[in-house]
Structure 1
Amino acid sequence: MNRLAFKMHLNEGQKAEYIKRHNEIWPELKQLLKDSGVSEYSIFLDADTNTLFAFQKVSGEGGSQDLGQTEIVQKWWAHMADIMQTNPDNSPVSTALEEVFYLK
């Protein structure tokens, strides 16, 4: 099992909408994540900077950010593009984070 972490950026004033949309995550997207090996997925918000910190446990090498070729993920990205920083293809601007400590 691999652990992945990355950060993204939420637009100012969009916390409630971000939470609402994730509370209503589409069942087919949730199933795709599970089928792709994502067994745990948490997103935390640093409200002082609007930085989103994401953590995933995955089997295999890739995580959710590697599913951009699928139609459902492209639709999700478009659905989220108005409330967070995105690339021209609507994928979230994300920065992979290096694990520097892990306590078992």
Structure 2
Amino acid sequence: MQRLAFKMKLNEGEKAAYKERHNQLWPELRQLLKDNGVSEYSIFLDEETSTLFAFQKVSGQGGSQDLANNEIVKKWWDFMADIMETNPDNSPVSIPLEEVFYMP
């Protein structure tokens, strides 16, 4: 099991919309993540900077960031593009973070 972390950027004033959309996460997206080894996925918000911090527990070598060619993922990106910083293909700008401490 590996632990992955990355950060993204939420547009100002979009906290409520972001939370609401994730509270209603599409069942097919949830299943896709689980089928691809994502057993836990948390996202935290630093409201001072609008930075989203994401954490995943993943079996295998991949994670949600490796599903870029999946149509469900592309549809989700399109759905989220109006409230967060995105790349030209609507994928969220996502910066991997290095783990520098872990206490099991």
Q: TM-score range with shorter-chain normalisation?
A: over 0.9
For 1:40-84, what per-residue CA distance to the aligned partner results, in whole angstroms no more than 9, with x for missing partners? 000000000000000000001111011010000000000000000
Corresponding residue of 1:3 = 3
State the SS of the aligned residue for 2:74. Answer: helix
Distance (Å, rounded) in 1 between the aligned partners of 2:14 and 2:32: 26
Q: How does 1:24-103 map to 2 (within 5 A)?
A: 24-103=24-103
What TM-score results when the alignment is normalised by the length of structure 2? 0.99
State the SS of the aligned residue for 1:68. Answer: coil
Corresponding residue of 2:18 = 18
For 1:3-29, what per-residue CA distance to the aligned partner results, in whole angstroms no more than 9, with x for missing partners? 000000000000000000000000000
Q: What is the root-mean-square deviation in Å for CA atoms of aligned residues?
A: 0.3
- The more displaced of 42-51 and 58-67 is 58-67
**Percent of residue pairs identical:** 76
Distance (Å, rounded) in 2 between the aligned partners of 1:23 and 1:37: 21
* Structure 1: runs of 5+ lacking an equivalent: none
- Runs of 4+, deviation exceeding 2 Å: none
What TM-score results when the alignment is normalised by the length of structure 1? 0.99
